Amino acid sequence: MQMILRILVSSPHEFPFLHLNILESMERVDRILVCEANFTHTGKERELIFGQLIEGLRREEKEKVEYLPVKLNNLIDWSHESGQLYHHIERLIRNRFSEETRIQKDDIVVAVDADEVIYEASYDLIEKKLYKSWMNRSGSLRLKLHQFFYKLDYHWINCEFSSPVAAKAEYFLGKGDAAQWRDEGKVSKFFAGCHFSWVMDVEQMLKKLQTYAHHDIYGQFANKQLLELAIQDKKYPFDSEVNFKIDEIQKSSSIYPKRFNEVFGENHPWFSA
């Protein structure tokens, strides 16, 4: 049995979060798979850049990293329309690593997007839940994360995010192309890490709204003035009915991953002013 961390990347602004995930996991996992697709969710071809970015890490940081470029040129079914196409491509991206590299049925796979950072201490808890406890017989555990929004210190205190999973590989390997490696299983009782959602500058937000799988729903909000005002007023931009309570936490908060300050210095521009 191996502990494998699979990280999806798609935009250069995610590199600090990727780096933090590597720092938190490198003493706890056997392999770190960094997967990058050559198409966006909306079907636009894109340049593969993370292989070169990873080369800039220190030798000990990239020792367990395996970079997996996901080339979708001959895999996309272009007969799908709009939203169906976007989610079809997303599904291909999320599952393709299991076709491109060696995964054994008894491996534990922790499957995250780059901005979903798992605590170093969580890996032992994950192994205990999946292999040493009778409590999780489903084979997949959804990981509960602290939710951040807009800024590194904007903690969305009344939102718990639990889309990433830790799973016995056989659970998803048996699903074939339908496997999402996401949103399945019981939700962990413990907080497994932090989700730094939409923590980026406004230009990056505009680009994301045009390229990610929910573009058909949220692409209408790709308006610079609207987003700047939402950040200024601490409002949720996509639904005025959402209960959006932001707590500006201290940079010394124990909520952050242990290696957080090694990546995000005190004056990082993604902190609130």
Residue 145 has pLDDT above 90, yes or no: yes
Question: Is residue 234 situated within a structural domain?
Answer: no
Over residues 188-204, the mean pLDDT reads 93
Confidence check: pLDDT of 60 > 70: yes
Q: Distance from first CA to last CA of the chain, Å, rounded? A: 46
What's the pLDDT at 213? 55
| For residue 207, pLDDT beyond 90 | no
How many domains is the chain built from? 1
Residue range 231-252: average pLDDT? 89
Asked if the structure places residue 264 within a domain, the reply is no
The three-state secondary structure class of 148 is strand
Residue 208 in domain: no
Tell whether the model's pLDDT for residue 97 goes beyond 90: yes
Q: What is the CATH number for 74?
A: 3.90.550
- Assess if residue 185 is contained within a domain: yes
Q: Find the range with the poorest average confidence among 91-105, 150-164, 220-234, 247-261.
A: 220-234
Is 206 inside any structural domain? no
Burial of residue 45 (CB within 10 Å: 0-12, 13-18, 19+) is exposed
Residue 105 is assigned to a structural domain of this protein: yes
Q: Indicate whether this model's pTM tops 0.85.
A: yes
3-state DSSP assignment of residue 95: helix
In a domain, 249, yes or no: no
Give yes or no for residue 178 having a pLDDT over 80: no
The answer to which of 36-50, 99-113, 206-220 has the lowest mean pLDDT is 206-220
Q: Which domain holds residue 87?
A: 3-148+159-199
